[in-house]
Structure 1
Amino acid sequence: MKKLFLLAIILFSSCIYAQENKRYVYAEIIAIERLLEPKVSVSINYGQEISYWTYDKIQNEKGKTKSFNSVIDAVNYMAYYGWELHQTYVVKLSEDRHQTRWIMKKAYSSDEDYQTDIKSTFRNQNK
Structure 2
Amino acid sequence: MRKALLFLAIVVCGTAFAQQAQSKVYCEIVGTSKMFSKKLTIEVDFGQESTLFSRETLVDENGKPIVFNSMVDAMNYMGTLGWEFEQAYVVTVESGSSATNVYHWLLSRYVSQGEDFSLTTRSQYRKDAKGQDTIPAE
Same fold judged by TM-score > 0.5?
A: yes
Cα pair 1:88 1:100 within 8 Å, conserved: no
Q: Do residues 70 (structure 1) and 63 (structure 2) align?
A: no
CA distance 1:61–1:41, shift in 2 (3 Å):
farther
Percent identity of the aligned residues? 26
Give the match for residue 113 of structure 2: 110
Q: Secondary structure at the match of 1:68?
A: coil
Paired amino acid for 2:10 = I
Q: CA separation in 2, counterparts of 1:17 and 1:54?
A: 43
Q: CA separation in 2, counterparts of 1:108 and 1:69?
A: 28
Q: CA separation in 1, counterparts of 2:6 and 2:100?
A: 60
The structure 1 segments of at least 4 consecutive aligned residues displaced by more than 6 Å after TM superposition are 94-98
CA distance 1:19–1:36, shift in 2 (3 Å):
farther
The offset of 1:27, in angstroms, is 0.6
Paired amino acid for 1:102 = W
Q: Any unmatched runs of 5+ in structure 1?
A: none
Q: Secondary structure at the match of 1:42?
A: strand
* TM-score relative to the length of structure 1: 0.67
Cα pair 1:85 1:105 within 8 Å, conserved: yes
Q: Secondary structure at the match of 2:48?
A: coil
